[in-house]
Amino acid sequence: MQVTVPQSRVHGDAQVPPSKSYTHRAILAAGYADGALVRHALKSADTRETMGAVEAFGGDVVEVEGVLEIDGFDGNPEAPPDVVDCGNSGTTMRLATGAAALVDGGTVLTGDVSLRSRPQAPLLDAVEQLGGRARSTRGNGQAPLVVEGPIGGGSVTIPGDVSSQFISALLMAGAVTDDGLEIELSTELKSAPYVDITVELLDDFGVHAERTEAGYRVDGGQTYEPTEGEYAVPGDFSSSSYLLAAGALAGDPEVEVRGVYPSAQGDSAILGILEEMGADLDWHRDDGRAVVRRSELTGTTVDVGDTPDLLPTLAVLGAAADGTTELVNAEHVRYKETDRVSAMAEELAKMGAEIEEERDALIVHGSESELVGADVEGLGDHRVVMSLAVAALVAEGETTITGAEDVDVSFPGFFDTLYDLGVSVSRE
Ligand SMILES: O=C(O)C1=C[C@@H](OP(=O)(O)O)[C@@H](O)[C@H](O)C1
Ligand SMILES: C=C(OP(=O)(O)O)C(=O)O
């Protein structure tokens, strides 16, 4: 499906969807438990892959009046009866690889063409260090993967600059090993707030994990059990970034974004970055509302080491701002659904943006950029699609974006929300 988005002003209220990161973890944690209810879960393509993985390991997930009722495998995942297909979801593949390492038997994991090109080698190596077997069928560190357990815990050394999801996977699995895990990071940790989310969610499920000087540790023999048997998922700040950016670029008179309570999510930094760029906004933290009005923005420098998923949104804000915006420490943003550093440079250039790409940075010359509507590619990446739709709001004429259905990965109602904010989106 492609969408056409005309230059538009936006106004009204928008609710952010539930957090994808918390939903994945809550579903899997309920799997590691005897079971649990997960309220306000994000029902999207990626989180359904994690539901499928929990079922493959012997759990059961049903949705009753919007609530996920999950029967867990109680710390003992079974050998899946079939290949575990993780679709487009990196989080599912990494977290499920951790669970697969506990299985007394083998698990085969695969995914779509994008996921089969993303790095998995450090996690496979970690499973091997712990006495399991884990390999890439093509020997290139990418899925399809074959993982054999069970691991009993121990010490492991792993790089931190490829994906934090490896650490999250090891912590979640490590809690139900016999001996627990001591994780040593051999390189600086990128995307660190996502491990904070894991540690916070584990705590809500009665499992203790902690940061150490060298990395992380989790004791073995722990039991997953959320307070009163249930867990409620908070709103998603990565998804909020498109709505907040739409308000800052085109809010007339204003956009109110709901569901943005203070959170461990690194991407909550979007509010501070928008303010620094000069956006006229009020964040009412106590009732989770942010009100944003159209503003003259100026360029800034953002280290996206902790917040890789904001890069597409920030590139668009930079292209519409006065001055230069530098998005630095961004190499890990290349290992996503697509190489988002190149993707944003190429697609925004089609819309008239002046952008320079470096291996680990994107430099956007906003003053030189006169955004014009164009035919652009979503490149199979939900965040590229949504950020280009925001760029379209301030581009002269109309912008047509391919692959609009990919928003289903993290924000299924995205184009309906945009329509409700007054944008005449057309789909074909
Ligand atoms: O753990 C998570 O929920 C995520 C971690 C991040 O990935 P990396 O740790 O691979 O950077 C982020 O980009 C992804 O969208 C979600
Ligand atoms: C990179 C993302 O997710 P995942 O790693 O789960 O595919 C994302 O949502 O931007």
Mean pLDDT for the chain overall = 98
Third-level CATH fold of 20-218? UDP-n-acetylglucosamine1-carboxyvinyl-transferase; Chain (3.65.10)
Binding residues: 20-21, 25, 90, 118, 163-165, 191, 309, 336, 340, 383
DSSP 81-138: SS-EE-TT-HHHHHHHHHHHTTSSSEEEEE--TTGGGS--HHHHHHHHHTT-EEEETT
pLDDT tops 90 at residue 272: yes
What is the dihedral sign for C-alpha 33, 35, 37, 43?
A: positive
CA distance 339 to 35: 37
List Cα–Cα distances, 126 to 96, 120, 185, 404, in angstroms.
14, 10, 11, 37
Give the ligand whose atoms come closest to the C-alpha of residue 163.
1
List the Cα angle 336/340/346 in 5-degree steps: 150
State the pLDDT at residue 217: 98
- Residue 46 Cβ contacting ligand 1 at under 6 Å: no
Give the ligand whose atoms come closest to the C-alpha of residue 313.
2
Query: Which atom of ligand 2 lies nearest, measured to the CA of 308?
Result: 10
Q: Which residues are catalytic?
A: 309
Mutate to test the pocket of ligand 1, among 114, 123, 165 (most ligand atoms within 8 A of CB): 165
Query: Which residues, including other chains, have CB under 8 Å from residue 154's CB and lie 6 or more apart?
Result: 129, 130, 131, 179, 181, 182
pLDDT digits (tens, 9 = 90+) for 92-115: 999 999 999 999 999 999 999 999
CATH of 3-17+235-427, one of 3.65.10.10, 3.90.1200.10, 3.40.50.1820, 3.30.70.60: 3.65.10.10
pLDDT digits (tens, 9 = 90+) for 62-87: 999 999 999 999 999 999 999 999 99
pLDDT digits (tens, 9 = 90+) for 344-381: 999 999 999 999 999 999 999 998 888 999 999 999 99
- Please tell me the distance between residue 20's alpha carbon and the centre of ligand 1 in angstroms: 10
Tell me if 59 sits within 8 A of 71, measured CB to CB: yes
- Please tell me the distance between residue 365's alpha carbon and the centre of ligand 2 in angstroms: 27
The mean pLDDT value for 129-153 works out to 98
Backbone angles phi, psi at 309, to 5 degrees: -75, -10
Binding residues for 3-phosphoshikimate: 20-21, 25, 163-165, 191, 309, 336
State the pLDDT at residue 418: 98
pLDDT digits (tens, 9 = 90+) for 178-200: 999 999 999 999 999 999 999 99
- Residue 91 Cβ contacting ligand 1 at under 6 Å: yes
Residue 77's region, left for phi above 0, alpha for psi from -120 to 50, else beta, is beta
Query: Which atom of ligand 1 lies nearest, measured to the CA of 335?
Result: 10
Tokens of 52: 């499928």
Residue from 380, 414, 415, 375 nearest 397 by CA: 375
CA distance 17 to 14: 9
Can you name the residues that pair with 257 across neighbouring β-strands?
Answer: 14, 290
State the pLDDT at residue 367: 86
State the pLDDT at residue 5: 98
Give the ligand whose atoms come closest to the C-alpha of residue 92.
2
Binding residues for phosphoenolpyruvate: 20, 90, 118, 165, 340, 383
pLDDT tops 90 at residue 250: yes
Residue 370 in 3-state DSSP? Answer: coil
- Please tell me the distance between residue 409's alpha carbon and the centre of ligand 2 in angstroms: 9
Q: What are the boundaries of each domain within the chain? A: 3-17+235-427, 20-218
Residue from 342, 216, 327, 219 nearest 273 by CA: 327
Going by pLDDT thresholds of 50, 70 and 90, the confidence category of residue 57 is: very high
- Please tell me the distance between residue 397's alpha carbon and the centre of ligand 2 in angstroms: 31
Tell me how crowded residue 138 is: count the other CB atoms within 10 A of its CB: 11
Query: Which atom of ligand 2 lies nearest, measured to the CA of 309?
Result: 10
- Please tell me the distance between residue 389's alpha carbon and the centre of ligand 1 in angstroms: 22
Tell me if 182 sits within 8 A of 200, measured CB to CB: no
- Residue 191 Cβ contacting ligand 1 at under 6 Å: yes
The residue length of the chain stands at 428
- Please tell me the distance between residue 391's alpha carbon and the centre of ligand 2 in angstroms: 21
State the pLDDT at residue 369: 82
State the pLDDT at residue 333: 98
Residue 428 in 3-state DSSP? Answer: coil
Give the ligand whose atoms come closest to the C-alpha of residue 24.
1
The mean pLDDT value for 52-64 works out to 98
Angle between helices 121-129 and 90-100 (to 10 degrees): 10
- Please tell me the distance between residue 90's alpha carbon and the centre of ligand 2 in angstroms: 6
List Cα–Cα distances, 158 to 107, 126, 155, 341, 385, in angstroms.
22, 7, 10, 25, 33
CA distance 37 to 62: 10
The ipTM estimated for the assembled molecules is 0.99
Burial-class residue 113 by CB neighbours within 10 Å (0-12, 13-18, 19+).
exposed
Tell me if 247 sits within 8 A of 320, measured CB to CB: no
State the pLDDT at residue 13: 98
Tokens of 105: 């038997």
- Residue 309 Cβ contacting ligand 1 at under 6 Å: yes
Q: What percent of the chain has pLDDT over 90?
A: 99
Mutate to test the pocket of ligand 1, among 21, 170, 310 (most ligand atoms within 8 A of CB): 21
CA distance 35 to 72: 4
Calculate the CA dihedral of residues 309, 250, 16, 197 and round it to 10 degrees. Answer: 30
Tokens of 269: 């930094």
State the pLDDT at residue 368: 86
Tell me if 426 sits within 8 A of 4, measured CB to CB: yes
Which protein residues are within 6 Å of ligand 2, measured from CB? 20, 46, 89-91, 309, 336-337, 383, 410
20-218 and 3-17+235-427 share a CATH fold:
yes
- Residue 164 Cβ contacting ligand 1 at under 6 Å: yes
